[in-house]
Amino acid sequence: MTERGPGAKTWAVSDFYTFEQLRNWQETAPSLAPPARFAVIGDPVGHSKSPQMHNPALKACGVDAQYIRVQVPAGRVREAFELFARHGFGGVNITIPHKQEAMAAVDEVDTLARQLGAVNTLVIRDGSFHGHNTDGPGFLRSVREAFGADVRDLSVLVLGAAGGAGRAVVMQCLLSGCWKLLIANRSQDRLLELEKEMNALRQGRVPRRRIIRKNWDPASLALAVREADLIVNATSLGMKDGDPALLPGMCLSPWHLVYDMVYRAGGDTPLIADAKAAGARHADGMSLLLHQGAIAFEHWFPGVTAPLEVMRAGLAAA
Ligand SMILES: NC(=O)c1ccc[n+]([C@@H]2O[C@H](COP(=O)([O-])OP(=O)(O)OC[C@H]3O[C@@H](n4cnc5c(N)ncnc54)[C@H](OP(=O)(O)O)[C@@H]3O)[C@@H](O)[C@H]2O)c1
């Protein structure tokens, strides 16, 4: 990973820019070609594969622009948006830890993003900031593509339900009227908070008796798995070697659909490895990255269908 030095004029996919460089954009990137017009912000952000997906898509659509990574510290998201607007950017993706801060930093939050509780896509139009959430609909599209299934027909177990990604999946499942929703989270107090927020959305969509809170211990999780068709890992477990196991051993069956929001460069996550060993169908975080990215692209270019296969190939090459 290399950090850009001020004044550098070329671009490479492993690079990211710092917030200071964004503030001094005229000196940082005076002759960037194509010009940077889209970005992902996060902290850290250097690992993001979004450029490898969006740059080929921009090229395929004949857009003379490139997509970059910018590392933005917590508390500076609104300032970063203003800098992007000043430098002629059209859109930004927002990743960890900024999705909640971004919601407060935009001028307008669309209904879905408000319901899901986070903004992961910014559209800059006429100098004002419009916030969207593409994680929820991206999740639905990727479940359809990976499993040929719709959450309306599934009993869904969300592990890490009270985290940012988990919350988006839970709320999207409620909005889509999933058959049954099993929720589990290490911190029970966060889960109780989530349950309160879920009440407003579930009305008329999913009966209360089909929303079940599970304890975070091996025996309860094993029982929850037995009740589930689709198992979603929305925790950050599996990102790093040495992370504790998510589920007790041998609890997956061949009929399970296993969906890991985490992705790892160069190998399976432990959950995906377990799914393979059990003969279960599976999808990892790349699938979500692709579909949420395609929906973001369509927000930036209304009326254009994102070139999904180009984006998929870009991610595969990455
Ligand atoms: N593929 C994609 O496009 C995509 C999109 C969004 C997110 N993600 C991935 O989803 C994961 C979660 O992201 P996020 O934004 O939701 O993060 P987050 O808001 O920080 O939430 C993290 C979740 O993981 C749980 N957790 C962390 N360490 C744990 C441990 N040792 N044992 C049990 N639970 C633990 C947390 O539980 P507590 O509440 O107890 O802390 C919380 O539920 C990340 O790996 C991220 O990369 C992928």
The CATH number of residue 230's host domain is: 3.40.50.720
Single out the residue of 101, 104, 99 nearest to residue 118, CA to CA: 99
Tell me: do 100 and 185 sit in the same domain.
Answer: no
Task: Report the percent of the chain where pLDDT is more than 70.
Answer: 96
Q: Which CATH number is 62's domain given?
A: 3.40.50.10860
What gap in Å lies between CA 271 and CA 245, rounded to an integer?
8
> What is the distance between the alpha carbons of residues 5 and 16, in angstroms, rounded to a whole number?
10
Q: What is the DSSP string of 187-216?
A: SHHHHHHHHHHHHHHHTTTS-GGGEEEE-S
DSSP string, 127-156: TEEEEE--HHHHHHHHHHHHHS--GGG-EE
262 pocket-lining for ligand 1 (C-beta < 6 Å): yes
Cα 9 to averaged position of ligand 1 atoms, centre (Å): 36
- pLDDT at residue number 11: 44
- Judge whether residue 19 has pLDDT over 50: yes
Domain match, 77 and 22 both: yes
Q: How far apart are CA 185 and CA 261, in angstroms?
A: 15
Cα–Cα distance for residue pair 12/4, rounded to 1 Å? 10
Nearest CA to ligand 1 atom 37: 186
Is residue 72 included in any domain, yes or no?
yes
Running DSSP on this structure, what letter comes out for residue 243?
Answer: P
Ligand 1: residue whose CA is nearest its atom 1: 285
Ligand 1 lined by 24 (C-beta under 6 Å): no
Assess if residue 9 is contained within a domain.
Answer: no
Ligand 1 neighbour 242 (Cβ under 6 A): no
Q: Give a yes or no: residue 257 inside a domain.
A: yes
- Has 49 been annotated as catalytic? no
Identify the pLDDT of residue 13. 42
Q: Is 272 found in the same domain as 141? A: yes
For residues 199 and 243, membership in a common domain is answered with: yes
Please indicate, yes or no, if residue 3 is contained in any of the structural domains.
no
Q: Which of 9, 59, 99, 276 is catalytic?
A: 99
In a domain, 10, yes or no: no
The number of helix segments (H) and strand segments (E) in the chain equals: 13, 13
Q: How confident is the model at residue 8 (pLDDT cuts 50, 70, 90)?
A: very low
Domain range holding 254? 136-283
Cβ–ligand 1 distance for 264 under 6 Å, the answer no
Q: Please check the confidence at residue 314 and state whether its pLDDT lies above 80.
A: yes
Taking alpha carbons only, the member of 130, 27, 11, 132 closest to residue 65 is: 11
Quote the pLDDT of residue 202: 85
Domain count, the chain: 2
For residues 75 and 181, membership in a common domain is answered with: no
Domain assignment present for 11 = no
Give yes or no: residues 203 and 76 share one domain: no
Same domain, 45 and 168: no
Tell which wins on pLDDT, 2 or 184.
184
Q: Are residues 242 and 128 in the same domain?
A: no
Domain presence at residue 232: yes
| One domain for residues 23 and 74 | yes
Q: Are residues 162 and 210 in the same domain?
A: yes
203 and 69 both lie in a single domain: no
Are 121 and 108 spatial neighbours (Cβ–Cβ below 8 Å)? no
DSSP-based three-state secondary structure for 301: coil
**Residue 58 CB coordination number (10 Å):** 22
- Nearest-CA residue for ligand 1 atom 34 is 186
Q: Within a domain: residue 107? A: yes
| Å from CA of 188 to ligand 1 middle | 15
CA distances from 314 to 3, 51, 282, 283, 310 (A): 22, 9, 21, 18, 6
pLDDT of residue 188: 96
Nearest Cα residue to atom 3 of ligand 1: 289
pLDDT of amino acid 213: 96
Please state, in angstroms and rounded to a whole number, the distance separating the CA atoms of residues 243 and 30: 43
Indicate whether 236 and 153 sit together in one domain.
Answer: yes
CA-to-CA distance for 230 and 277, rounded, in angstroms? Answer: 17
Q: Which of 139, 233, 236 to mutate to test the pocket of ligand 1 (most atoms within 8 A of CB)?
A: 236
Give the per-residue pLDDT at 302: 97
- Say if CB 168 and CB 133 are below 8 A apart: yes
